């Protein structure tokens, strides 16, 4: 009898178009409103957004809601972790630790049904009473999705099927990176490269995104941080900016400007708190040929100017613009961000001069805003407060104004950047019943 051979591509295609399925951790509430035909939408494939700047072009979003907030569409129970979900087309990907296993799940955004799941054992520790857990958000690029686990598991998946294309453990291959809470920096894609703040035996490395083969490595005394590398065009040249600095004594770290094609270092600008128990966690913010960096433990913020030869100089320093892990937003000549590590204030600084325009603790009905995340979308700022408060804010150089406010839930450590896609809002509720919740923001 002749053996029937089914081509691999056919198998993959069948898997790719399989219907998503329900599962026991999913609770569905109600379908969302129809999407307006006039709405502008775009994917949110990485935690800083499609242009690495926390700006979304989505429009026609709901700017007011009932007292109990926007309608819930679905929610999925999840384990430990602060990594935000990312969305591309009909695929939402999240990473978390569930029952001792690092878990990557791909869901259908409108229903929360599951396309696929991949997990593996992971051992978690803790520092300063804080448990290690996944902090690096997935990165979707075309038909591929990349994840970096808390113990260095770097994996490339097929987005549609969940098939593993390649994997490598960074700790085993290059030595453990000295970090307080495990790895937490997202990689960045440049052409055919996946660029990672590795730490260990090297500071930054480039891998071929389709094979995992090492392309180049850049050694430096600074190690991996929690800030994610971002791409930039400085004086017409492609660069990757890495805000490095790990758990070392004495504490060292700062901003690296790297030629992504060769791995050559143009500039290293030191910027790190003087205390050991500190981290660099807010990603660099590109403004023309300058870059803003910030840390929350002693140095505050700085605007760094880059010359055509790649060298860097300090334009201004802001002692009171110390972002612990909230990446600021540059918008129309001003920087908006969150200053402080415990008592926090939203601040506005003029980019050209470094002049502080205002600061406001933003007191709410139930609690102070706390360590919050911001997203610029639909002509306003969407904000998630540290206890689960959702706000629409009007932020400009004259001051802040609350346009709408609701308490989605009361839970600490709600730190992830809000994800918006096709008029839907995805929020991680951490602690007190950890879950990913989808809300309807369609008008």
**Predicted confidence (pLDDT) at residue 373 exceeds the cutoff of 90:** yes
**Predicted confidence (pLDDT) at residue 74 exceeds the cutoff of 90:** yes
**What pLDDT is recorded for position 363?**
80
Q: How far is CA 7 from CA 11, 13, 14, 15, 36, in A?
A: 7, 10, 11, 13, 41
**Mean pLDDT, range 264-282, rounded to an integer:** 94
The DSSP element (H or E) to which 116 belongs, if any, is strand 114-121
**Mean pLDDT, range 394-418, rounded to an integer:** 92
Domains, the chain, ordered by start: 19-170+417-443 (2.40.10.480)
CA–CA separation, 78 vs 92, rounded Å? 14
**What pLDDT is recorded for position 362?**
86
**What pLDDT is recorded for position 17?**
58
Between 265 and 275, the higher pLDDT residue: 265
DSSP for 213-224, written as a single string: -EEEEE--S---
DSSP-assigned beta bridge partners for residue 347: 337, 359
Tell me the pLDDT tens digit for each residue of 227-249.
999 999 999 999 999 999 989 99
Vertex 109: Cα angle to 92 and 382 (nearest 5): 90
**What pLDDT is recorded for position 131?**
78
CA–CA separation, 293 vs 280, rounded Å? 9
**What pLDDT is recorded for position 6?**
37
**Mean pLDDT, range 330-358, rounded to an integer:** 95
Sign of CA dihedral 199, 416, 250, 183: negative
Q: What is the largest CA-CA distance in the chain?
A: 81
**What pLDDT is recorded for position 132?**
85
CA–CA separation, 58 vs 39, rounded Å? 7
Q: In the sheet that 101-107 helps form, which strands lie side by side, from edge to edge?
A: 86-88, 91-98, 101-107, 114-121
H helices of 24-178, in order, are: 170-174
Q: How large is the C-alpha radius of gyration of the chain?
A: 21
The DSSP element (H or E) to which 195 belongs, if any, is strand 193-197
pTM exceeds 0.85, yes or no: yes
**Predicted confidence (pLDDT) at residue 366 exceeds the cutoff of 70:** no
**Predicted confidence (pLDDT) at residue 68 exceeds the cutoff of 90:** no
CA–CA separation, 430 vs 1, rounded Å? 57
Confidence of residue 404 (pLDDT cuts 50, 70, 90): very high
**Mean pLDDT, range 141-157, rounded to an integer:** 97
**Mean pLDDT, range 77-97, rounded to an integer:** 96
**What pLDDT is recorded for position 5?**
39
**What pLDDT is recorded for position 210?**
98
**Mean pLDDT, range 384-403, rounded to an integer:** 95
Q: How far is CA 76 from CA 105, 146, 287, 408, 434, in A?
A: 11, 21, 37, 15, 9
Reading the block at residue 239, the tokens are: 């660069």
Reading the block at residue 224, the tokens are: 């991996």
CA–CA separation, 83 vs 417, rounded Å? 9
CA–CA separation, 261 vs 117, rounded Å? 34
Find all residues with CB under 8 Å of 241, minimum gap 6, and list them.
Answer: 229, 230, 231, 232, 255, 256, 257, 258, 284, 286, 291
**What pLDDT is recorded for position 4?**
38
**Predicted confidence (pLDDT) at residue 9 exceeds the cutoff of 80:** no
Query: What does the DSSP 8-state code read for residue 44?
Result: B
Find all residues with CB under 8 Å of 25, minimum gap 6, and list them.
Answer: 76, 77, 78
**Predicted confidence (pLDDT) at residue 3 exceeds the cutoff of 90:** no
**Mean pLDDT, range 383-408, rounded to an integer:** 94
**Predicted confidence (pLDDT) at residue 186 exceeds the cutoff of 90:** yes
CA–CA separation, 154 vs 152, rounded Å? 6
């Amino acid at each position: 009898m002749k053996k029937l051979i089914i081509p691999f591509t056919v198998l993959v295609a069948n898997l790719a178009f399989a219907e998503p399925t329900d599962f026991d951790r999913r609770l569905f509430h109600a379908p969302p409103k129809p999407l307006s035909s006039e709405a502008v939408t775009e994917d949110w494939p990485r935690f800083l957004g499609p242009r690495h700047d926390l700006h979304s072009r989505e429009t026609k979003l709901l700017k007011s809601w009932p007292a109990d907030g926007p309608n819930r569409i679905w929610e999925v129970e999840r384990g430990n972790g602060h990594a935000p979900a990312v969305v591309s087309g009909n695929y939402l990907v999240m990473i978390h630790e569930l029952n001792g296993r690092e878990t990557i799940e791909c869901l259908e955004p409108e229903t929360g049904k599951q396309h696929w799941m991949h997990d593996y054992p992971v051992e978690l520790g803790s520092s300063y009473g804080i448990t290690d857990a996944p902090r690096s958000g997935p990165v979707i690029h075309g038909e591929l999705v990349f994840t970096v686990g808390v113990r260095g598991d770097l994996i490339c998946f097929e987005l549609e099927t969940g098939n593993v294309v390649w994997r490598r453990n960074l700790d085993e291959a290059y030595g453990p990176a000295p970090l307080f809470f495990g790895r937490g920096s997202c990689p960045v894609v440049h052409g055919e490269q996946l660029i990672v703040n590795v730490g260990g035996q090297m500071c930054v490395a480039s891998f071929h995104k389709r094979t995992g083969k090492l392309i180049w490595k850049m050694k430096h005394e600074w190690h991996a941080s929690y800030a994610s590398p971002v791409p930039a065009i400085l004086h017409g040249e492609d660069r990757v900016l890495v805000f490095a600095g790990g758990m070392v004594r004495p504490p060292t770290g700062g901003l690296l400007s790297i030629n992504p094609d060769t791995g050559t270092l143009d500039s290293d600008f030191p910027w790190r708190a003087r205390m050991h128990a500190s981290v660099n966690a807010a990603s660099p913010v590109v403004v023309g040929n300058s870059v803003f960096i910030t840390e929350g433990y002693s140095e505050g913020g700085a605007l760094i100017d880059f010359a055509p030869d790649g060298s860097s100089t300090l334009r201004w320093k802001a002692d009171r613009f110390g972002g612990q892990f909230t990446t600021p937003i540059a918008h129309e000549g001003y920087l908006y961000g969150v200053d402080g590590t415990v008592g926090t204030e939203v601040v506005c600084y003029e980019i050209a001069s470094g002049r502080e325009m205002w600061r406001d603790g933003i007191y709410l009905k139930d609690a102070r805003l706390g360590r919050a995340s911001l997203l610029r979308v639909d002509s306003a700022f969407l904000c998630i407060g540290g206890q689960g408060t959702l706000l629409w804010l009007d932020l400009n150089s004259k001051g802040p104004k609350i346009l709408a406010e609701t308490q989605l839930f009361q839970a600490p450590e709600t730190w992830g950047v809000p994800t918006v896609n096709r008029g839907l809002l995805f929020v991680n509720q951490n602690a007190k019943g950890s879950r990913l919740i989808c809300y309807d923001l369609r008008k």
